[in-house]
Structure 1
Amino acid sequence: MPVPARLPSWAWVTGLTVGAIAAVTVLGVQADRGSHPTATSAKPSGTASAQPTPTASAPARVPDGSGTGRRVVYSLGEKRVWLVDASEATRRTFTVWPGSVSPDPGTYTVSSRNAATTGSDGVQIEHIMYFAAKDGVSVAFSNAVDGASPPPAASGTKTGGVRMRKADGTALWAFGTVGTTVTVVK
């Protein structure tokens, strides 16, 4: 009785590789056809403070008087940030934890960025984007490296950090390059 011919191992590997690439391509096309959210309502993984967590409900509109064009809008009263593109569409909105020093309402620009450092409160932070100064304190957006989002103000300490959740910090870092407009409203 004749022995059936065996396929060489390279043929098996090639066949499996082609099949895997085809499957990944089909899944990628299907995923691209799905919805693409522009805002997040994820809660932080934990807090290091007894202070309340900002609410996740997102206002439908960017505040009036926040300018036009591509910009970051920061509402002091709502403790919320909007990332607005050049077509006036909100790409993302999220709540923040402001420090003890807040900038005055007005228009600023991102003046510098720092990938990571230690905040004045001793917390390891990343995605630091400086945009204002008040009373000798630099005001900047940032997020805690460990994902916790406590308010950056320690008792009696002047801090200008505007903290946010890690995913929001990553999105803001990608959106806000040096020179990006930041509009602060009441």
Structure 2
Amino acid sequence: MGPGVVVTGLTLGALAVVSLLAFQANGAQDRAGGARPTTAATSSGPAASATPSASATPTVPPLPTSSGSGTRVVYSISSHYVWLIDPKKTPQIAAAFPVTPGTVEPTPGSYSVYSRTQTTTGTDGRQIEHVVRFAQQEGVVFGFSAAVDGATPTADPKAKTGGIRSGRAEGQLLWDFAPKETKVVVVA
């Protein structure tokens, strides 16, 4: 066997391995969990997907007009959507994404992030990360989090929980965006 045949064989083998790794990496985002976050196309216009997707991008509800001003996290009880707003940037909507609420909703109003935890166990027993707490009402703690396994199941109706779950990528965005004292506006 000549050296050309050996080099060709090694090259073909390397190409096969690289192709396999590229194929596996292509689906890694979907396996990592959750819907892809969306960002606004303009400061007042509709949102567009932050990353291209083969499936149709869900329509992002418009930012509620009663959502206040300044840098803030906006949570809509009716649409179960979160917007991350930074008025110093263009577009002002840094990200917008759907969430799954707990069994109890916070009262509409303005709050501040008072506590954050990198990882812990949620009230449903799931391992969660990027916990950003902003309110306590009648013994219920309200905050955003993401399940480590990427799941966003509907909360058990028998449990009294204020956890608002997002996908992992969205949880990371919110964690990075909302340190302590960040304003959180809850709208109906």
TM-score with structure 2 length normalisation? 0.68
1:178 aligned partner: 180
Separation in 1 of the partners of 2:50 and 2:63?
17
Instruction: State the shift of 1:56 in Å.
Output: 3.1
Residues 79-128 of structure 1: CA distance to partner in whole angstroms, max 9, x if unpaired? 00000003371010000000011110000000010001010111110000
- Give the whole-Å Cα distance in 2 for the aligned partners of 1:168 and 1:83: 10
- Which residue number in structure 1 is paired with residue 72 of structure 2? 71
Residue type of the partner of 2:74?
A: V
Larger Rg: 1
One-letter amino acid of the structure 1 residue matched with residue 87 of structure 2: A
After superposition, residues 104-183 of structure 1 pair within 5 angstroms as: 104-151=107-154, 153-183=155-185
CA contact (8 A) 1:116 1:125 kept: yes
Contact 2:111/2:185, CA 8 A, preserved across alignment: yes
State the Cα distance separating 1:161 from its structure 2 match. Answer: 0.3
Unpaired runs of 5+ in structure 1? 1-36, 43-54
Q: Deviations over 1:43-99 (max 9, x none)?
A: xxxxxxxxxxxx93212x310111111000000000000000033710100000000
What percent of counterpart residues are identical?
Answer: 48
Alignment TM-score, normalising by the size of structure 1:
0.69
What letter is aligned with 1:78? S
Secondary structure at the counterpart of residue 97 of structure 1: coil
Cα displacement string for residues 5-34 of structure 1 (whole angstroms, at most 9, x for unaligned residues): xxxxxxxxxxxxxxxxxxxxxxxxxxxxxx
Please list every run of 5 or more consecutive structure 2 residues that lacks an aligned counterpart in the other structure: 1-37, 40-47, 52-56
How much does 1:154 deviate?
A: 1.5
Q: CA deviation at 1:133?
A: 1.2
Aligned-partner SS, 1:148: coil
Q: Please name the residue that 2:84 is paired with.
A: 83
SS of the residue 1:104 aligns to: coil
Compared CA separation, residues 74 and 173, structure 1 to 2 (3 A): same
Distance (Å, rounded) in 1 between the aligned partners of 2:147 and 2:50: 18
Partner deviation per Cα, 1:117-169 (whole Å, 9 max, x = no partner): 01011111000000011220100100000111112x21311011000011100
Q: Report the aligned-residue RMSD.
A: 1.8
